[in-house]
């Protein structure tokens, strides 16, 4: 067995363990998000929801879903050795993710008529959006590191586990928002 072959086998073994660790993290994090989601319906039912901007909710949701497309494109590109498309897709994902956080935290939180401690409706709104925004920020940091390392040429079609991990995490964040968006913006009558 040559040194290159043994290094590749070792890389594959480490990647396999890393994958397992990432999926265990995602499963455990899903329970926390599920707890928030269930709390929303337990405390508020389907009759009420916060009075929030429908336009802004749709806009930030669209931005996040579009970012997922570009993250998938970036991951696919590096798997095929296309460094330029990988970097462009990752950069676009970073920009769109930043716009999402600005939209939720920088705009929605500022125009909301009540603060986080007013009542159960608003406490849940801030808890759900805040916890999700924290995860988006974590994903943005992860993506920034991946982008920086990608610019240094550290990824190839054979060795790109960090890109795959960033993509899986980013898609997880998107899927969570797909559940949070209707719970916060669509289901129930708005309350002030």
**Which residue bears the tokens 């709104």?**
125
DSSP type of residue 48:
E
Supply the pLDDT for residue 45.
Answer: 86
Query: What does the H/E/C string look like for 73-121?
Result: HHHHHHHCCCHHHHHHHHHHHHHHHHHHHHHHHHHHHHHCCCCCCCCHH
Mean predicted confidence (pLDDT) in 171-191: 93
Give the chain's domains with CATH numbers.
Answer: 18-45+52-191 (1.20.120.80)
pLDDT digits (tens, 9 = 90+) for 127-138: 999 999 999 999
Percent of the chain with pLDDT over 90: 76
- Average pLDDT value over all residues in the chain: 92
- Helix pair 3-44, 120-151: axis angle to 10 deg: 160
pTM strictly above 0.85:
yes
- The residues near 14 (Cβ < 8 Å, ≥ 6 apart) are 161
- Does the structure show a pLDDT above 80 at 13? no
CB 173 within 8 A of CB 132: yes
Measured in residues, the chain has a length of 192
Percent of the chain with pLDDT over 70: 94
Supply the pLDDT for residue 4.
Answer: 55
- The residues near 60 (Cβ < 8 Å, ≥ 6 apart) are 99, 100, 103, 104, 108
Supply the pLDDT for residue 5.
Answer: 57
- Does the structure show a pLDDT above 60 at 2? no
pLDDT digits (tens, 9 = 90+) for 41-95: 998 888 888 889 999 999 999 999 999 999 999 999 999 999 999 999 999 999 9
**89-98, 105-114, 140-149: which has the minimum mean pLDDT?**
105-114
How far apart CA 9 and CA 35 sit, in angstroms, is: 40
């Amino acid at each position: 067995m040559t040194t290159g072959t043994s290094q590749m086998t070792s890389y594959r073994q480490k990647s396999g363990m890393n994958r397992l660790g990432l999926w265990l993290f995602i499963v455990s994090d899903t329970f926390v998000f599920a707890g928030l989601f269930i709390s929303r319906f337990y405390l508020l039912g389907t009759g009420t929801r916060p009075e929030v901007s429908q336009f802004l909710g749709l806009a930030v949701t669209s931005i996040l879903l579009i970012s997922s497309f570009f993250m998938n494109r970036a991951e696919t590109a590096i798997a095929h050795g296309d460094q330029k498309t990988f970097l462009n897709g990752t950069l676009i994902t970073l920009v769109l993710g930043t716009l999402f956080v600005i939209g939720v935290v920088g705009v929605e939180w500022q125009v909301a008529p009540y603060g986080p401690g007013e009542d159960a409706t608003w406490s849940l709104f801030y808890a759900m959006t805040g916890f999700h925004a924290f995860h988006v920020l974590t994903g943005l940091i992860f993506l920034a590191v991946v982008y920086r390392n990608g610019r240094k040429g550290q990824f190839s079609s054979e060795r790109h586990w960090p890109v795959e991990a960033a993509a899986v995490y980013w898609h997880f964040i998107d899927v969570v928002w797909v559940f949070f968006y209707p719970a916060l913006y669509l289901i129930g009558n708005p309350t002030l």
